[in-house]
Amino acid sequence: MKYFIYCDESGETSFSKDSKHQHFSICALTVEESQRNKIKNTIRRKHAKLYRKGWPKDIEIKASLLHGLNFNKKIPPKLKKSINGDQFIKETLKSLKNSYSPRIDFFAVNKDEIVDEEFKNASYGIAYNYFAGKLLLPLIVKCRDSYITLDERSKETHSQMHFNGYIETQVRGYAIENNLNIRLEIEHANSRNNYGLQAVDYFSWSIYRKIEHNDERFFNVFKNLIKTKERWYCK
């Protein structure tokens, strides 16, 4: 059986003093191949409601934008009055949860508590690859046949960061050491055209909202779906 894993990050893995983010998190949504259409149907149905209200076609619907709706100048004032962004996020999370009960795994990191200067000063992308690997390797091993999709526009997974090679090395090494046959494909797709990436955005943002701002309203909707919950130096 093939499993599809959609991965998204929130916050920023940079350890620059100019970074405004104290934490970052990496979230994975895993679903069986037979259940993929339920993601598509749920997201299409929910987002269609916004488009019917007049949501601009050139603006991607994302949880962070819905939450900060009143501060976005590109959204027409009339539309802002007709949408409760936070309520829409909750309703979408509930619909995704009830439609196919996806598996959610995440890692969250408090950057202020990492003291290893060599790690903090390593080339950009090293931190992301390291923590993404720790999150994804157990999932890949468990699934045995998986297709991982990430947002091609994410600066964290740019081709220069050698993400694919790092993950594949971890997986192939584990497979050899444990005499396992593991199939793995990795795709970097545009989230505008990928319903799985659009779905994981809601979960990823909600996790980050809890970690960074201690706002549990959205996280509590789906917390029972979480299998892996690792917090590095996070309360």
Check pLDDT > 80 for residue 219: yes
pLDDT tens-digit map of 126-183: 888 888 999 999 999 999 999 999 998 776 766 656 889 999 999 999 999 999 999 9
- HSE (side-chain half, CA atoms, 13 Å) at 142: 15
State phi, psi for 106 to the nearest 5 degrees: -155, 155
Q: Cβ neighbours of residue 162 under 8 Å, at least 6 residues apart?
A: 125, 129
Per-residue burial over 166-183, b = 16 or more CB atoms within 10 Å of its CB, e = otherwise: bbeebbeeebeeeeeebe
pLDDT of residue 17: 72
Q: Which helix (H) or strand (E) holds 184?
A: strand 183-189
What is the CA angle 103-62-184, rounded to 5? Answer: 40
For 116-132, write each residue's pLDDT tens digit.
Answer: 777 777 777 788 888 89
The answer to whether 12 touches 19, Cβ cutoff 8 Å, is: yes
For residue 82, give both structure tokens: 């007709």
In the chain, the percentage of residues whose pLDDT exceeds 90 is 63
Going from the C-alpha of 208 to that of each of 27, 38, 202, 219, the distances in angstroms are 9, 25, 10, 9
Give the chain's domains with CATH numbers.
Answer: 3-37+103-232 (3.30.420.10)
User: What average pLDDT does the chain have?
Assistant: 89
What pLDDT is recorded for position 223?
92
